[in-house]
Structure 1
Amino acid sequence: MRLAIIGGGASAVTLVDALARSAPKEKISVSVFEPRAVPGPGRPYAEDADGALINRPADAMSIRHRDPLDFRNWLREAHRGGEFPSADPEARFQPRWLFGVYLRRRLASAAARLAADGGTVDVHATAVEDIVAADGRLLTRTATGGTQAHDHVVMCLGTPRPADIYGLAGRPGFVADPYPLSEPLPTGEPVTVLGSNLSAVDIAAALLRRGHTAPIRLMSRGGLLPSVRCRPAAIGPAEARQLAEAVRRTPPAALWTTVRRLLHDRLVAHGVSADEISLDLATGEPAVRRLARQLGRTEAADCWRGVLLPLLDPVGELLWQRLPLSTRKAFLHRNTRLATVLNPMPPATAALLLEALGSGALEVHSGVTAVTARPGGGFTVTADGKDHRAGVLLNATRATPYDLDEPAGRLLGRLAASGLARPHPCGGVYIDFATNRVLGPACGLYALGHPTAGDLYYANAGSLLGISARAERIVARIQRGPATGTAALATSSTLTIGGQLDG
């Protein structure tokens, strides 16, 4: 069997690992297409991102959903062997670069295991520009002109790069994609970061930990920083089952109202304060006050953020897929404040930002309406009716759709033009919820991770434990045999709903 994996980041490693652990009954030839020099870490977990912490706890970062402590146990063993002496293997939030090492090691061990079974894993340092269905197989065409035939293709395209909202690409001083922050900036030069989301916070944290002395400004339309992650509350089996049953059984038209009511009841039962919810979702609270308040609540049993996420995590994928498309689109457009709660930052990062805000090393501005290049160099950022000058501008705006100027965007555009995939208005492409097969005429084409955001929600699509569970589904599917023939092109996004994902 020949399998192509487009992309060589965390999702791809998870898939290769799942394949190796499945004890395949036939020889498998795996071709990984990854233009980056080092396969495994992808954009988020490169070695040069030394100042950023993973935003999820270490015990939720395993590439094996049935063994959620795999990363932590790997780190403990490596630490006992004398590796990474400066790392604390018991820390709840680990450096991104360290997780990148874990990914590289797991990819190498999975490749060795497949080789022992007579298979191969070959990494091609190029991007795939197109996929063509021919004679029951899928042909990949690369940027270097190469063509290969495969029985199955899985698109592990990673997260889209930041959106160039103001058309500043190519302007001196504009860093279109600064994540990870591979090149240190002059420590005495002020830096403006366009955005205040997790990527923007990671950039600020990296600069601060590197000793950047000049002011750092985070500037965005809303000016809201990500919330601070709380300790997860203990959710009883009965309340988890109640929510899961409601998600499965409630008609889609009434689902949003029903789930909101159930979540409200569960939050009240855990003693959550309505005032805290209102404060967290409101705009206008100074960043210093907001961070200090939330840092003081990270261990509180009645912190609503610590109750909400454990309730939603097991049913998030199914809930999102069952919601009407209009509700999903409205949520992505209007609920940016709730997104700060669903994508929280580590307490250590929040403490660093709070200290920097207090000393004047960091500023947070809201109300951005325009960014323009200045004739003599630099930029003008207009926020709340005031013009702010910026010499260096780091772009950290969030992008759910793939940019057509990047390889992933070009590939998806070509697949849409040829009919092999249907673009999803909420991001990525339409998939079969049960199997991750890309809806279209090609039986052997799958997507994993962010390309599935439209049907799985981008936060769920980026959860490694969830990705691992879905990688195992793909492996089970493709091991039934090579793709033969075509599937009828789906005309509706309403699919048969599978069971709840493990992990």
Structure 2
Amino acid sequence: MRVAIIGMGTAGVSILRQLEAHSYFSELDIDVYDDPQNMGQGVPFQNDSAQLLINLPSKDMSLNAHDASEFFNWYETQNQFKFDNATYLPRFVFGHYMKSYLEKFNQQYSNIHLITEKATEMYLEQGYEENARIQYFVCTNHQQEACRQYDYVFLTVGTMAYHDPYHLKGLKGYIPSPYPTYETLNEVDSTDDIAIIGTGLSSLDVIRYVVKHHPNLPITATSRHGELPSVRGNMIDITLRHITKENFESILRSHFGVVPLESMIRLFKQECEDYNIPLQELINRKVGDPIKDLKYDLAHPEILGVFQSILETIKENMNWIWNSLSLQDQEVFMKKYMPILKANSNPMPPRTARLLIEEISAGHVVIKKDLADVQYKNETYIFKYHNQVEPDYFNVVINATGPKTQLKDLDDDDAFIIDIANRQIVQPHPMGGIQIVPETNQVISPRHGTLPHLIAIGQITNGINQARNGVNMIVRQSVQAVKSLYDFHEQIR
């Protein structure tokens, strides 16, 4: 059976690892696609500054669904990278861990073929005979002769390009993506004033790098709300007792096949009560002063860690939770509750928080809220705020707003996704990404219906897999996706 994996970051390598573990692996002929730079590492874990840390403890992150400490054990046994404090390792180290498996498999197996080019198009063909199977053609370099035929395809294309909310892409001094950070200052003069749009995790990466390598400080990080991510507390193992499939199934039967949002929130509050979480206090703990907010989190690692652990466990189960809600309730959740979930999940390492306190206190970093607009005039960026009469002026702007989620917002940086949407192979989900079957990650095409042998995993599925694109969650999706492939393979052998 001919198999393609399009994109070899976290999801792509996870799929390959799951394929390799099966006894039928030798009967597959597998092509993997990505450019040379990202092959095996992906964009989030590409080679970059050692100051960019994974926001999970090293012992809690792994591509092995059965061994959460595999990455840390790999780090301990290798000799290429060594750090004094390995509790939170640099992100690029995880990328080399992933790449080590791809390189090992490539050397060990003749049925794996690395195609160091981006896929540019994909199209489908189906014969007219009864029960004819769809064949998938993946192309590179926009050439018909560069198309290869497959029985099964995994769409693991990684994150979509970053938002450009003020339409600045292409202007002098505008850096559309913060990664790799060690290249962000290549065209920046030592006297330039720098602003960062965004105050999330990506902006923290930029801050950590720029304050160490740019002499003209302070740098300003700004957004509408001006809130920094929370600080990771002491995480614990959580067993959900109220937000369970059994309770959801009972509610589904009595509410016409959906779980009302208020029922889900009620169950969530019961989970918090079981663990003595002061919910309202934690939700409303931020006072708008970055230093005070960071110090609060650092001073409350126990209770904050329990709260974060509950949210992380809910995220791990978000596939059946999220897709039990009506579309209307999903929209309400996105407006009312998703900001709370985002503010308290994906937290920064404590040492990043301490560094930020130090840099803000020293006047090297300024965090501002109420950003209203950014304009460009006479090679200068003009930042206007709702709470400030006079604008700020900058020579350089680094975009750290995070990746796009809606297909309608994509541009040439996501040409492959635009291509397969244009061919009606995929269609947009109203909450973001593309339509898939929640339980199987099978793509739902507006032209062909459900495509059982086209599987999408990762940020491209964010509308269905809301808040489920962390490494560990992608690994779990990969396990199920590969099981489906081998179930199909057994049928046709």
TM-score in terms of structure 1 length = 0.86
For 1:443-502, what per-residue CA distance to the aligned partner results, in whole angstroms no more than 9, with x for missing partners?
321101111211111x31x222221122122222222346999xxxxxxxxxxxxxxxxx
Match of 1:104 in 2: 99
Contact 1:192 1:218 in 2 (8 A): yes
Match of 2:411 in 1: 405
Distance in 2 separating the partners of 1:110 and 1:241: 43
Residue number in structure 2 paired with 1:37: 37
Matched, 1:127 2:133: no
Shift of 1:160: 1.6
Distance in 2 of aligned mates of 1:484 and 1:169: 49
Three-state SS of the structure 2 residue aligned to 1:332 is helix
Counterpart of 2:68 in structure 1 is 68
The amino acid across from 2:487 in the alignment is R
* Alpha carbons of structure 1 residues 314 and 184: separation in structure 2 relative to 1, 3 Å: closer
2:382 equivalent to 1:380: yes
- 1:86 and 1:211, CA in 2 relative to 1: closer, same or farther beyond 3 A? farther
**C-alpha separation between the residues in 2 aligned to 1:180 and 1:246?**
45
The amino acid across from 1:176 in the alignment is: P
Quick one: distance in 1 between partners of 2:424 and 2:105? 34
Moved over 6 A (4+): 482-485
Cα pair 1:139 1:150 within 8 Å, conserved: yes
**Which residue number corresponds to residue 8 of structure 2?**
8
Q: How many residues align?
A: 468
User: In 2, distance between residues paired with 1:256 and 1:159?
Assistant: 29
Match of 1:436 among 425, 441, 450: 441
With over 3 angstroms needed to count, the CA separation of the structure-2 counterparts of 1:137 and 1:430, relative to structure 1, is same
Amino acid in the other structure paired with 2:342:
A
Counterpart of 1:456 in structure 2 is 465
Structure 1's 131 and 208: CA in aligned 2 closer, same or farther, altered over 3 A?
Answer: farther
Give CA-to-partner distance per residue, 1:301-338, whole Å, 9 cap, x none. 46553343254144222111222122223333444343
Query: For residue 90 of structure 2, what is the aligned residue in structure 1?
Result: 95
- Tell me which amino acid in the other structure corresponds to 2:91: R
Q: Is the 8 A contact 1:51 1:210 kept in 2?
A: no
Greater shift, 414-423 or 161-170, is seen at: 414-423
Measure the CA separation in 1 of the matches of 2:340 and 2:215. Answer: 29
SS in 1 for 2:297: helix
The Cα of 1:12 is off from its aligned counterpart by 0.7
Counterpart check, 1:266 vs 2:271: yes
Name the structure 1 match of 2:308.
306
Maintained 8 Å contact 1:129/1:407: no
Q: Which runs of 5+ in 1 are unaligned?
A: 486-503
Whether the 8 Å contact between 2:259 and 2:324 is mirrored in structure 1 is no
**Which residue of structure 2 lines up, in the alignment, with residue 494 of structure 1?**
none
Partner of 1:265, secondary structure, is helix
Pick aligned residue for 1:421 from 421, 426, 431: 426
Which 10-residue stretch deviates more, 256-265 or 344-353?
Answer: 256-265
**Structure 1 residue 214: Cα displacement:** 1.4
Change (3 A) 1:150 1:278: closer
- Provide Cα deviations, 1:101-160, integer angstroms capped at 9, x if missing partner: 1111021123344x1xx5122223223233333443101122342211111111111112
The answer to whether 1:20 aligns with 2:4 is no
How far 1:5 sits from its partner (Å)?
Answer: 1.3
Shift of 1:350: 1.3
CA distance in 2, matches of 1:315, 1:323: 14
Task: Please give the secondary structure, in 1, of the residue aligned with 2:392.
Answer: strand
Which range moved further: 130-139 or 194-203? 130-139
SS at structure 2 position matched to 1:288:
helix
Residue 267 of structure 1: how far off its partner (Å): 1.8
RMSD: 2.5
Q: Percent identity?
A: 24
**Equivalent position of 2:176 in the other structure:** 176
1:246 aligns with 2:247: yes
1:156 and 1:287 map into 2 onto residues whose CA distance is 36
SS of aligned partner of 1:363: strand
Show the counterpart of 1:371. 374
Map 1:103-502 → 2, pairs under 5 A: 103-113=98-108, 115=109, 118-135=110-127, 136-145=134-143, 146-183=146-183, 185=185, 186=189, 189-210=192-213, 214-235=217-238, 237=239, 239-240=240-241, 243-251=244-252, 253-280=258-285, 284-298=287-301, 300-301=302-303, 305-334=307-336, 335-374=338-377, 376-384=378-386, 385=388, 386-398=390-402, 399-402=404-407, 403-408=409-414, 410-440=415-445, 441=448, 442-457=451-466, 459-460=467-468, 462-481=469-488
Amino acid at match of 2:68: P
Letter in 1 for 2:269: H
Aligned partners of 1:179 and 1:319: how far apart in 2? 33
Paired amino acid for 1:84 = F
AA aligned to 1:175 is I
1:54-84 Cα offsets, whole Å, 9 max, x none, are 1222233211212211101111111xxx332
Q: Distance in 2 between matches of 1:139 and 1:302?
A: 49
- Distance in 2, Cα, partners of 1:483 & 1:221: 53
Q: Helix, strand or coil: the match of 2:464?
A: helix
SS of alignment partner, residue 333 of structure 2 = helix
Instruction: Give 1:110's aligned amino acid.
Output: F
Distance 1:392 1:86, change over 3 A: same
| Cα 1:443/1:264, change in 2 over 3 Å | closer
Note closer, same or farther for the CA distance 1:422–1:377 as it changes in structure 2 (3 Å cut).
Answer: same
Aligned residue for 1:439, secondary structure, equals strand
CA gap of 1:242–1:137, structure 2 versus 1, over 3 A, is closer
Secondary structure in 2 matching 1:372: strand
> For the residues of structure 2 that align with 1:248 and 1:216, how far apart are their CA atoms?
51
TM-score (norm 2): 0.88
Q: Deviations over 1:362-412 (max 9, x none)?
A: 1111111110111x212001112441101110011132225532453x333
Preserved CA contact (<8 Å) 2:443 2:454? yes
Q: How far apart in 2 are the matches of 1:422 and 1:472?
A: 25
Where do 5+ consecutive residues of structure 2 fail to align?
A: 128-133
